[in-house]
Structure 1
């Protein structure tokens, strides 16, 4: 018995300018997105592209190893099996399925199967066990699917620690990490249990729930903050991204973003699958796999990759590899987001490899996408591109009125990609407004051409890789110590992660405390392991504004200055050759090198390659008095 044909997605429009977006918006929305659920979109893609490869999973960073591949038809069958298993385990109720899985084919199968049967709850397995348990309780998960014991990724030990703290978990299933890595005795095998369920159709013909998923936002403090995703949110973000990228069935997208991050799931994942393209997943460690990154260009060539998905720091790493010109020749675009994109970095990558770089702005609360620089249009330095079709972006001034083009303010978003809100409606205040607007928390402006520019982060979020860390999480832990008077956490530039959290504190009069003791005290109170500050400095006083608020720009300058000075020393560049001065300018931090010896210039360029920072080489006479 075959399912009736589903309406296909419309041909991809060519989008280069705001006028092109407006032309798309002239058609009824149901022509733009004819599907009501993610499962329907995947079913339609399989009907059209059944024999084409949908997912290629690279299990080992070895060019000689044979990757595993799923055609669209095979992927759909596995998604149905997973959905039917989850449906059966839900005992007649739409289940909530927590997922602690790396970015592998099984991760996608479990995610889309969970959304077809009930509500998926992807969890960042890098968090501490207490935080994970709190998230599981908050999302009301009855099922948990996690990666089994693996030598390179310790997810399963977290499962052992949290099960007792989550009495609502009725079933726990594991995905084996590999054929030679068995599961512990008595642990249920997801892949084996899926085989007992039908693959030709879903056991339930109607969507179990309009709530597709709950995604927790990075850096929450206190009660977990879970953003609700409807199927419509995810479909709009994914198909809108495909339209802006111009993705088609001949494209191959290399993405190592985690599944608990909206970029991995929708911006690069679902958008590729709806387009009929091939999604290449680079080992369960993603782009954190050093052995894979060492052969990155060769894997790109081997799999005929046409789109690279990478945060700016990965771009910087690729530049530092000094790959021969043309080695990435088949790539037609590098797609980046998650943290600010320095124009110097994008321009250097484009000049070196001839590959256009396109920036993305998104939030968990917008299913990952607000705006994208269209591949068919030019890259504009500093821009995050054009809003997706049917998506409104407004800049609001301090007095609450809309800003004119070019005027700065807080960005607000409204459209089909915007979440209905948090599971705890009391936390919507300041983010979700009653008239449908989402307050992004970013400071920026929109120009006459409709392009978005983000010039600051109103919420002072620290972005480590693509993971958001709330500095308040760190500050509240430090302030628990009775000797601490003030505490402030900021991001310190890092060649790999983009930013690392560092903290500055001042002590109460007469108090004695060293940084090592304070770090040991604070560690148990910081639920997110990535949020643990890499360094704590005890200062005589924390810089403050005239009204007594912590002045974080000065601390960011201090942290950046220290990083650059350390890099100069490690490179053997002496003050007699060059001196670094970090400035807080309107466009963000800028590292100014005052040259005393012109021969040091090449070494300075190499030194700054891995960093997503603006920098200038100036004559020594240009030093600030």
Structure 2
């Protein structure tokens, strides 16, 4: 297929001269996949790597097989009594069977993929909130043990369950998803009556609140991001992308998923545990050579891992690494382009707009600090943030910081609980909560967050829920949880605590006692710091910017502990954090560059000052 790759805003505007329904081959998720399957029936949609062993071949799934399995899954769900307004919940990693369940559910009803790292109580709450009538879950196996979590969640919210069999082990008495598919026809047994406005899925926002928060996606929302992404990527049906993202995340499903399925390209799916599989990670570059990978799907944490992985294979086929989910440090991107020699481009996305707000074009130079250009047929603005609300009737000037808002065919109709829409959805506008600006070329820059959400990798953590767990401890008076910069995860939660009068408790003991009460494992703080007084605003609210600065200073001081005479000072300007590192002893240019590289994966601007020789 011919790809007219975008280079700048003018290219986007030129495409927008075409009527929308002529610019996209289908207005539904299923329509896009079916269109690709008709054109590229015998091309590989997926190549699944069953292990990290290079001697074990990939298991291919061709487009005609994908379409047939989607039909079988849709027929199966309807045969189980699932109606068009019900949901099928999915608790499984990104393997072919999970793909069949996800897209088949969107044909028959709604899909609700759930983060399998959540605690059973949260999974049960999401099952209830989604209206799920059936659960498809990974069965027992030795590599990724989800079945005990499944059993605990089902004890709280009983549902019919289908297990995805991996290997020989199965849960007794539980139907096997693959066996049930075989008994269905590969031709749709019903008219799905799909429209762009019909709800296709509900995706939870990563456990950012105690009560379930499920963003609804229409078929039109998903089709929009699924189709127009490739104009930025420069991908076509010959693209082979390594996609290790889970399907409960919009990046795995749409940003790096449907965008490939829509154009007949190939996704390499790396094992049950993806980048957590040590053998796969060790052989990463060799798998790229073997599978002739041309594009990498990443977050900054993956880039930080790969930049230090020796290149022991021919990776000349790889043209670009796309990253998103958390801030991309400019120095890390530069290192990746310098060491493995692969171009890096950035993405901004949200669950509430089917995964994409903006993308850096692969055929244009990387713009440090940018998340790229808006999607076609959409609008992104920076507006003033006053009184805790976005001022939608005003716009910030070019280069002026405000809160980013957007509207377009990809914006969700809202959460399943409409009461949660306040502050996020306002008419056609989606209020991102990100602080940033647009430059003269139309590139979007993120400078901070109006909210306090901590982003660990691409996983959102609500500090309020973690703080609640600490405040339940009898020794704790006040608690504030903030993000500490981390070279691998982007941010890690850390807790600052004041104790009640007369209470005695050391940080390690306090963390050990509170950790089991934290709502999910990734939200457990890396450390606890007990302080005499909590920094407060004039009206008595905890002033978190001061704690973020302290966390930043602690982290950088820890990373530079072996450098004599070093001091670190954090600073905040316009909502953005930065740091100044001063060295008491003279250092030559090579030594300073070594320190820069050591701190490259920290997503905070850092200035270095060394004493003169």
Both proteins in one fold, TM over 0.5: yes
| 2:511 paired with 1:519 | yes
Q: Higher mean Cα deviation, 131-140 or 487-496?
A: 487-496
Deviation, 1:106, is 1.4
The aligned counterpart of 1:589 is 578
| 2:447 paired with 1:455 | yes
Provide the C-alpha distance between the structure 2 equivalents of 1:414 and 1:176, rounded to a whole number of angstroms: 41
Give the 5 Å matches for 1:468-487. Answer: 468-487=460-479
Provide the C-alpha distance between the structure 1 equivalents of 2:84 and 2:357, rounded to a whole number of angstroms: 33
**Contact 1:96-1:119 at 8 Å conserved across structures:** yes
Provide the C-alpha distance between the structure 2 equivalents of 1:438 and 1:11, rounded to a whole number of angstroms: 33
Provide the C-alpha distance between the structure 1 equivalents of 2:314 and 2:580, rounded to a whole number of angstroms: 31
Provide the C-alpha distance between the structure 2 equivalents of 1:601 and 1:428, rounded to a whole number of angstroms: 48
3-state DSSP of counterpart to 1:188: coil
Give the 5 Å matches for 1:132-531. Answer: 132-167=123-158, 169=159, 171-178=160-167, 181-207=168-194, 210-323=198-311, 327-398=314-385, 400=391, 401-433=394-426, 435-531=427-523
Deviation, 1:317, is 1.4
Deviation, 1:481, is 3.1
When residues 606 and 358 of structure 1 are mapped into structure 2, their CA distance, relative to the original with a 3 A threshold, is closer
| 2:26 paired with 1:35 | yes
Deviation, 1:239, is 1.2
3-state DSSP of counterpart to 1:519: helix
Q: Which runs of 5+ in 1 are unaligned?
A: 1-9
**Contact 1:219-1:471 at 8 Å conserved across structures:** no
**Contact 1:218-1:469 at 8 Å conserved across structures:** yes
Q: Which runs of 5+ in 2 are unaligned?
A: none
Deviation, 1:524, is 4.8
When residues 93 and 423 of structure 1 are mapped into structure 2, their CA distance, relative to the original with a 3 A threshold, is closer
Q: Higher mean Cα deviation, 471-480 or 207-216?
A: 207-216
**Contact 1:212-1:231 at 8 Å conserved across structures:** yes
Deviation, 1:558, is 2.1
**Contact 1:248-1:276 at 8 Å conserved across structures:** yes
| 2:543 paired with 1:556 | no
Provide the C-alpha distance between the structure 1 equivalents of 2:164 and 2:369, rounded to a whole number of angstroms: 42
Provide the C-alpha distance between the structure 2 equivalents of 1:361 and 1:113, rounded to a whole number of angstroms: 28
The aligned counterpart of 1:61 is 52
When residues 486 and 279 of structure 1 are mapped into structure 2, their CA distance, relative to the original with a 3 A threshold, is same
Provide the C-alpha distance between the structure 1 equivalents of 2:264 and 2:82, rounded to a whole number of angstroms: 34
The aligned counterpart of 1:604 is 595
3-state DSSP of counterpart to 1:84: helix
State the Cα RMSD in Å.
Answer: 2.2
When residues 606 and 290 of structure 1 are mapped into structure 2, their CA distance, relative to the original with a 3 A threshold, is farther
User: 1:118 pairs with 103, 109, 113, which one?
Assistant: 109
Once the two structures are superposed, residues 418-477 of structure 1 have per-residue CA deviations (whole angstroms, 9 ceiling, x without a partner) of 1000011111000001x2100000000111111111000111211111101111111122
Deviation, 1:206, is 2.2
The aligned counterpart of 1:75 is 66
Q: Higher mean Cα deviation, 262-271 or 602-611?
A: 602-611
**Contact 2:25-2:35 at 8 Å conserved across structures:** no
3-state DSSP of counterpart to 1:353: coil
Deviation, 1:322, is 4.1
When residues 440 and 158 of structure 1 are mapped into structure 2, their CA distance, relative to the original with a 3 A threshold, is same
When residues 431 and 305 of structure 1 are mapped into structure 2, their CA distance, relative to the original with a 3 A threshold, is same
Deviation, 1:93, is 5.3
Provide the C-alpha distance between the structure 1 equivalents of 2:517 and 2:138, rounded to a whole number of angstroms: 27
The aligned counterpart of 1:3 is none
**Contact 1:53-1:69 at 8 Å conserved across structures:** yes
| 2:5 paired with 1:17 | no
| 2:34 paired with 1:46 | no
Deviation, 1:482, is 4.3
**Contact 2:107-2:192 at 8 Å conserved across structures:** no
